[in-house]
Amino acid sequence: MLDTRYTIETPEGIDLQAQVAGPVPRVLAYAVDLFYRTVITIALWLGLNLAGMDTAGWGIWLLGSFLLEWFYPVVFELWRHGQTPGKQAFGLMVVNANLTPVSWSASLLRNLLRVADFLPLAYATGLTTMTLSRQFQRLGDMAADTIVVYRQPQADRKALPQLAPCVPPRNLEAEDQRAIISLTERHREISEARQEELAELLQPVTDASGPAGLRYLRAIGLWLLGAR
């Protein structure tokens, strides 16, 4: 069965997951960005015409069009958490293949190679490579080692325990990770006594019990939720 989940394991033995975006939402996001770029280009042309288009005006317009075509996505991906306006409209974001924020070199490379995806006509190469790739990567993504994923909603940090996060032990299984995250997120919904009972189940992993073991599990849960 087709599964768009993408999973990697960190050096600490923690599984990170994301849902990879397919060709349809990516094409729609590109169409939105193309619309914005077109509007900006037309507005620039009209403004220069009102100011009296001359040789310098044409030069400014060509330079602006060049910058919009090649660096519009790079600027947004670097300063808007991997999201151009089009990607933001569809809840997508560009990340490195290890699920870290996209770097400037990777963003620049993947966008400079975008022209190859339009060969021979109408984004044919890009659609073909995305369809054949397990992570729906086009040529630029393959060269830059990037993927496009759905942006996950951020957890409500106000409801989390006020503790310093702690790196989990290396022998922590994925099922245990999910249990610790759930325990941390629901710490206000379950009584302290019941939470300590649940913490006892992971004593062989944490080597701690009672209130101290519960605090340790919450600190691990905060780390798993992204607190550093």
CA-nearest of 106, 145, 150 to 18 is 150
Give dist(CA 88, CA 69) in Å, integer. Answer: 18
Whether 136 and 193 map to the same domain: the answer is no
The residue out of 117, 150, 183 marking a domain boundary is 150
Give dist(CA 137, CA 121) in Å, integer. Answer: 18
pLDDT digits (tens, 9 = 90+) for 53-100: 778 888 899 999 999 988 999 999 999 989 999 999 999 999 999 988
Q: What is the mean pLDDT of each run of 10 residues along the chain (228 residues)?
A: 74 75 93 95 90 82 91 94 95 93 94 89 88 92 95 63 80 79 80 82 77 85 80
Whether 107 and 70 map to the same domain: the answer is yes
Residue 102: domain span: 5-150
Give dist(CA 40, CA 224) in Å, integer. Answer: 42
Total number of domains constituting the chain: 2
pLDDT of residue 43: 93
pLDDT of residue 16: 79
Entry pTM? 0.66
What is the rounded end-to-end Cα distance, in angstroms, of the chain?
36
Whether 21 and 72 map to the same domain: the answer is yes
pLDDT of residue 17: 83
pLDDT of residue 1: 44
The residue out of 150, 173, 193 marking a domain boundary is 150
pLDDT of residue 203: 81
Whether 106 and 219 map to the same domain: the answer is no
Whether 120 and 167 map to the same domain: the answer is no
The residue out of 123, 150, 177 marking a domain boundary is 150
Cβ(103)–Cβ(93) under 8 Å? no
- The average confidence (pLDDT) of the chain is 86
Whether 146 and 60 map to the same domain: the answer is yes
